[in-house]
Structure 1
């Protein structure tokens, strides 16, 4: 932290003097939006606020934000360890997506490993017209550096993100890489809608239904967005969010061109979020749905939220499964791969 960096209370600004729940926190803001980032915990974005409405688009779980240093996990299960610290919001997922998995002798936990690691940061630009910061992390189990640069401009509700992974070894490596965005109240509610490009396919993987739960979407087949065949045989439009209590599940969307995009709209609030990304690097979109039907750990029927998550690979069953189905990312020794995306908060016309 630069104690002598010029302070500013107008235009674009960076606040790097804060802690939240004892964790180093960066706040980026301008006239329209505020973005709060937990540097000490995965560079998680736990607030994405539209100032004109005092409306936060990031989902916050009932447990909220907590500092991993304040709580010792009481289970050896990596999934529950991740969930115990999970606060909703927006995480970077790399190099394993989903459940515990092994690769080249390394054992990864749930969504391991950068989501719970402390990151470094550098201020790239700090002016009233533009602020830009680079966050970076070095993985422990496999030899990678991941960096991302977050930029906002004055009088804009758009956040631009550019990322890079670098293989620090001579060994070709495989990976899963994704953006774990989750939306919930106060923005998300039944009746919200999801807009996507045309000709999107819906993959309903048979691995994704727990034995103690029923699925809404028929498994083992590919559907045409937004209409899916339910297990009952009826057709359902999954672009419109159902009432609370509908089955909770996950499906995977594919068929995006070079630039993927989606838009989640709440017409009652006249508000929306639009996410655009490089679909060559992340060709899949995970659509996680938690509508309150999960009455056991960890949700206990208390939540209504979705995740719409650009990913390099699928399903949420770890790197070993992505290797088996051929969707795992590939990088040569000493090679770098780049990715870009943006997220924009919108006020819809009534």
Structure 2
């Protein structure tokens, strides 16, 4: 059975799912009753009712209701590390977490992974128009462990539409080498916001695509002067500013899916824009980017800490 924890104040209402990855499944701006986070066509799932196929990508996606996940110790395609398979998008987003503290404006949750010797703690705190999220990863083992770490928030309609705009401190956009979507040229670097397309021209990634654009994009923002991005949405009358420490998460994966992809899982039903702070470039080494997929090592007994804030901002 699904269960939720809720944080509330005068400006925000936040839903967290301890039974499924400590996912943040909803962030509602209370004046407009607009949820900034995306929900998949099938919505939230009781894990007991989700199919189990043995394919980690299919099984992860069957449990994916949208919202904001934490991808640890793997992100992207499944891979084998030290003889152990790390499934698609990692273990942290599908296991249950234990609430240690829970009140109206603060909650703390913890879990221990099996596929890697990692203890994770997630602390969420509301302060006015800001949600503060502190995540820590502690290596409980006696040897260093390679750890991919991606924060995975996806934003949806009505907050996202063709009038919304993305601004960021990233100086570079790196298109994916294998799956850049249906419009970007693969494995290229360019100054953000202009990215090369398969047609030989450039695409401005600042304006968000509309639901009828038929666009699919996967790329990575990098070379951050400081860790932040904003999405302004005139249609709902407010924006958000997301801030984090780029020395911990130096990149941000960029995903846009606008009723473009046929077949499982979207069947042309998804409309989402995601900007995902990350400690690793997505994919495997490529001709123009051999550092793709290089995974940082978390030393024995060490702890990494990520602080991310999401602030609702009033538009002029």
TM-score norm. by structure 1 comes to 0.85
State the Cα distance separating 1:249 from its structure 2 match: 2.3
Q: Does 1:67 align with 2:46?
A: yes
State the Cα distance separating 1:191 from its structure 2 match: 2.7
Secondary structure of the structure 1 residue equivalent to 2:235: coil
State the Cα distance separating 1:215 from its structure 2 match: 2.8
Measured against aligned partners, the alpha-carbon deviations of 1:15-60 in whole angstroms (never above 9, x if no partner) come to xxxxxxx223110101111000000000111110000001100101
Report the equivalent of 2:96: 118
Q: 1:316 to 1:65 in 2, by over 3 A?
A: farther
Measured against aligned partners, the alpha-carbon deviations of 1:107-127 in whole angstroms (never above 9, x if no partner) come to 011111010000011227x58
Q: Does 1:55 align with 2:27?
A: no
> Contact conserved, 1:193 with 1:240, CA < 8 A, in 2?
yes
> Contact conserved, 1:265 with 1:273, CA < 8 A, in 2?
yes
Instruction: Give 5+ residue unaligned stretches, structure 1.
Output: 1-21
State the Cα distance separating 1:337 from its structure 2 match: 1.4
Report the equivalent of 1:285: 252
Q: Does 1:346 align with 2:316?
A: no
Measure, in 1, the Cα distance between the counterparts of 2:46 and 2:284: 26
Measure, in 2, the Cα distance between the counterparts of 1:306 and 1:233: 24
Which protein is richer in helix relative to its size?
1
Instruction: Give 5+ residue unaligned stretches, structure 2.
Output: none
Mapping 1:180-195, distance limit 5 Å? 180-195=152-167
Measure, in 2, the Cα distance between the counterparts of 1:324 and 1:308: 20
Match of 1:247 among 197, 200, 215: 215
State the Cα distance separating 1:323 from its structure 2 match: 10
Match of 1:202 among 168, 173, 187: 173
Measure, in 2, the Cα distance between the counterparts of 1:201 and 1:326: 17
State the Cα distance separating 1:317 from its structure 2 match: 6.1
> Contact conserved, 2:160 with 2:208, CA < 8 A, in 1?
no
- Structure (1 or 2) with the larger CA radius of gyration: 1
Report the equivalent of 1:158: 130
Q: Does 1:220 align with 2:180?
A: no
TM-score norm. by structure 2 comes to 0.93
Moved over 6 A (4+): none
Q: 1:135 to 1:316 in 2, by over 3 A?
A: farther
State the Cα distance separating 1:202 from its structure 2 match: 0.6
State the Cα distance separating 1:65 from its structure 2 match: 0.5
Secondary structure of the structure 1 residue equivalent to 2:31: helix
Measure, in 2, the Cα distance between the counterparts of 1:168 and 1:231: 46
Secondary structure of the structure 2 residue equivalent to 1:114: coil
Q: How many residues align?
A: 312
Measure, in 1, the Cα distance between the counterparts of 2:295 and 2:148: 6
Secondary structure of the structure 2 residue equivalent to 1:288: strand
Measure, in 1, the Cα distance between the counterparts of 2:193 and 2:291: 28
Measured against aligned partners, the alpha-carbon deviations of 1:268-319 in whole angstroms (never above 9, x if no partner) come to 222211110111110010001101111221111112111110011021569x
